[in-house]
Amino acid sequence: MYIIIVGAGEVGTYLSRVLVQEDHDVVLIERNEDLAAEVEKLFDVLVIHGNGISGTILNKAGIARADLFIAVTRIDEVNLLACMTARKMGKHLQTIARVREQEYISLTKQELKIDLMVNPEQASADEIIEMIHHQNTGQIWNIANDKLVFIDLPLTKESPFVFEKIKDLQEFFPKDSIVVGKNDAEKITLATDDMTFKENEHAYVLTRPEHVNEFTILSGNPWHNVEHVLIIGCGSLGLNLAQKLEERKINPTIIEQNSDRASWISRQLNKSIVLQGDGTNPDILESHFADNKADAVVVLLSEDEKSIFVGLLANQRGARKVIVRSDKISHIPIANKLGIASVISPQRTITRAILNFIHKGLVSNFVVLGDHNGEVLELTIPKSPKHSEILTKPLGKLPLPPDTCLCALMRQDDVIVFNAESDITLQPDDILIVVALTKTVPIIEDYLGS
């Protein structure tokens, strides 16, 4: 696809890198000249210095032949106006806008003629809720119409994974469960029978939802229920999260440094406790850990370094679940190495939503792993595939590239998890769950597509 992106901030830069890795042609428009020059040195993309709303700049970017236009600046109005301008100029163009204000989200796509509006705060709040619900996992994703879950499982020194090879543990796994690979904070490695793990590495597990607790025990983390949540820093994401927690009968305590903001937030919530104070102050934090008041601590400060510091402090004080926001993707492996298993990245959340949109058709669902080192794909097998052999040969005989793991198959309402090389033959409309390193994804999509 030929894709134009407006905005070379953290989101636009990360998205550009991911799309280039997937072999798309990317043009990036950035108004800040210094930032435009800096990004051009980093990636194999054409960077144009200019205003993404300008018709002249859009023509220079090749709007007439673009397939997709994405606006991800920090200003909603710029993103919306850029998309509407691009739609008028592009022939068969689809548009995506990053939008934070709920008032804009509530407008219909038909009213604005925008194909997808992504709200990073809402999407990130939903992910945090899942992390809190499955408190001893790094992250968890529902796949295969919620019949399976893909778990990012942080391992402690108490975990059997640290002592045994996968092949020796397989008999102890619950039914329909496999270990797919691991993430050591630097790279993703797909599983082999002889694979072993180290403390603080993350195992990737595919299983049924009813087995999540069993894998939590295998991770070495003690099981507990989350009843008290402490939110440190309450911008738009924090408010979204608090409202969603209240809907689930969990009333968080919020620490917000800005007194006007704290007062306003308290009026938006029903039962949450809102305190004005500096959430980075160890003395203030200590009072919330003294009597095990906080089961889960969610740090949503605007500065990554402060968020990670507070997250480490919460870990040391015995918080059972710590979730930290990171606006810089490069900081996530650092946080993981320091012992913070759960890191939320609005940039990665936006990217996942956009990639799901781009992949629609062959790919019905999509999960980004690590720093986009790997992907989980739900691939819908076409009725008339390009390579007819995929409907006649057993799965285990298909010439798929290395660094590919065929995990499971959904056929109508039945799900089959593969514990070994499968002799199943694909049928049209089957959904194949595949885990692969990012570099192999275009090859897989091309081979299995129509």
- Domain with 166 in it: what CATH number? 3.30.70.1450
294-298, 306-310, 316-320: range with highest mean pLDDT = 306-310
Dmax over CA atoms of the chain, in Å, equals 66
Q: Tell me, what's the pLDDT at 337? A: 80
- Between 17-31, 365-379, 389-403, the lowest mean confidence (pLDDT) is in 365-379
User: What is the CATH number for 32?
Assistant: 3.40.50.720
- pLDDT for 21: 82
Residue 163 falls within a domain, yes or no?
yes
Which two structure tokens, joined as six digits, stand for 182?
Answer: 């691991």
Query: Which H or E run contains 59?
Result: helix 55-61
Model confidence over 351-389: pLDDT tens digits?
888 888 887 767 878 888 877 788 999 999 999 999 999
Q: Identify whether 432 is part of a domain.
A: yes
The answer as to whether 123 is a domain residue is no
Q: pLDDT band at residue 94, thresholds of 50, 70 and 90?
A: very high
Q: Residue 311 falls within a domain, yes or no?
A: yes
Range of 170's domain? 136-218
289 with 362, same domain: the answer is no
Structural domains counted in the chain: 4
Residue 342 is given by DSSP the state: E
pLDDT digits (tens, 9 = 90+) for 43-63: 778 999 999 999 999 999 999
What does the DSSP assignment read for 245-273?
A: HHHTT---EEEES-HHHHHHHHHH-SS-E
Residue 294 has pLDDT above 90, yes or no: no
Instruction: Please report, as a single letter, which amino acid is at residue 228.
Output: H
C-beta separation of 341 from 136 below 8 A = no
Candidates 10, 16, 8; CA nearest to 354 is 16
Helix (H, G, I), strand (E, B) or coil at 100: coil
Q: In which band, very low, low, confident or very high, does the pLDDT at 290 lie, cut at 50, 70 and 90?
A: low
Residues 209 and 232 occupy one common structural domain: no
Residue 108 has pLDDT above 60, yes or no: no
pLDDT band at 295 (very low <50, low <70, confident <90, very high): confident
One domain, residues 284 and 366: no
Average pLDDT of the segment spanning 425-434: 93
Query: Which residue did the predictor score with more confidence, 319 or 116?
Result: 116
CB contact at 8 A, 308 and 335: yes
Rounded Cα distance, 388 and 426, in Å: 11
Give the whole-angstrom CA distance, residue 237 versus residue 258. Answer: 15
The answer to whether 100 touches 75, Cβ cutoff 8 Å, is no
Query: 3-class DSSP state for residue 380?
Result: strand
Spell out the alpha helix ranges (H) of 90-227. 102-105, 109-112, 120-133, 166-169, 212-218
* 93, HSE (Cβ side, Cα atoms, 13 Å): 27
CB atoms within 10 A of CB 264: 14
Q: What is the pLDDT of residues 115-168, one digit of tens each?
A: 999 888 888 898 888 888 766 666 788 899 999 999 988 888 888 888 888 888
**Predicted confidence band at 291 (pLDDT cuts at 50, 70, 90)?**
low
DSSP 176: S
* Amino acid identity for residue 166 in this structure: I
What's this model's pTM, rounded to 2 decimal places? 0.79
Given this model, what pLDDT does residue 234 score? 93
